[in-house]
Structure 1
């Protein structure tokens, strides 16, 4: 008995389809392998900067919403030792920069060296965020090793909308829907508006430690089709309540370049070291970052909550706006691999993915998000994230379940 050509063609087609499906399940359904992690160096021990190198300040909360500024002279277990500057300024001190302007650096340096019985011990739970604005500018892949781990080889910027929170606190996550990640960063703010590089050079500069929490699911969904290191998609993923804890100290260095280059920063998650780096590894320093912002002007090239936004209104880097440095390698996020993209494209056709979402790209993204949600490798309620530094203090955040809205 012979097989007709038509039946033979059908049989060959069936074998080919079966082979495609078998190949898909053999290659794509198997695990992707373990996540490669960055090599983590030693964690910084932490101390107060020597007075000759920098003056260290903190905001102290009091009764009924009152606050004052401390000149920090030392640390003790769960406490900071400092001098309340309000009595020296007739109760009018508003910020560390105001104290320096009115009292002068030499007088504050002498006071730090010889506190004459004015230094007191204050619990760290009373320390407030050292920045207060709600509109900030963050930089991405400004550390080369981080760029390598996320396959980006250039620096970009984006606006970040959030009110900074204190060094000790909690951050709520919905681990069933979001992929929440950490970053440790160096941050800087100024005593004046920065309209040009001359203003930057003349300004008093305060350096402090920052954390930066991100919902990577929101980031993946909001990236443009052709990501060109523009920072598009990052504002929605990195803005919102609790996503920018600050260290306890605002440090005003004598030589900001030297201070920043020597400052070490690190992250520990649940006792495991995850990140380590130093300011010397930054691709753009803070002066170059300010120049980037000024050059961008007020062009509304970014998007937040569906509306176009600039890096900064009127092209001016306003007093109170924070520059965030970017982070070293060691975060939890990895973009989809070529294998995952290829398997997603095949699944879009073979598994009828085209019936569920609008495009192959969206299908690949949703598969990657689902995979990471199932892995539970992103931040989960019960986690503890600690950011540390050489001379900027530390941040300790308890990850909790987000409250229902």
Structure 2
């Protein structure tokens, strides 16, 4: 499978007119893979899109090309080997132009299948920006490993046993703005021989415990130095710490203030047993859970700011603000759907069969929420999907935090 830069290059250099491009975003979490649930979801979306095509008055060649797109996507998704090592997939197809490009994703906003004049890649760009570069530190009593990961890749930068760094690897990034990280960490350790006026460690329980504490603090200090050294070479945006130590949170007393500010949380991983695959999955799962924890804060903020004229809820009001470019953050309940219309020339969703351009004829769609998300991404708004069902009931399907007061 091509890397992200190559895939986007192929998609964006092609001229597709008068044909259309089918764009699919499909979630592939473990629960979605049970009994190939994702395949059923795709087939349902394809069936709905086939109904939409009947209202678009397409030429036969254009219509047939889209139907062939759906067949190719179904065949691709039917092979589990094509879906390994990802938590989401994006597929772009224009059969008439012999274009079929899959892109593995760390996650997707929600399941979407759309047919448009161009490939809808804005969600990929948004996810890449949101994810940024993540540093993952693994640590136990003696062993420290450090990884850098981004949208599509993960690479081990350092692996050493206290007190000396033993090796380092080059990290080849996949994001457009990411640079390779390379280097060797070298640390000078205090002499193991005590000074003449120092009392040597004895066998007593107190001295034994003090020695353990000393080793812990020294290792945490070394880990901080390693992280700062790595940050100087590659300015990672988030930090995840993995360990099975019960006292691991004490490392925060030794971290630089910048590292504390970007610390996302902790995962249970053993440095000696962890692989790049398990490290990546654990980090992505932590980020997903943190995002779920922020849902309540976002919904409460929506309800609070609505009374101050800085937020709206309900599809009609949200669309009105999107038309004006006034949406800073779009909140969408994961299970919310609403029928409406889409204007093919102005590329906007509408609730009524009326388009802003004179002579433009909209076509009906079963769910215009997908197009609403795409319009928000086009306006550089942040998209937040509310997954918790209890929070979905607190607002009217979609809501928006606004850029300016209304």
Q: TM-score, normalised by structure 1?
A: 0.22
The structure in which a higher percent of residues are helix is 2
Larger RCO (alpha carbons 8 Å, 6+ apart): 1
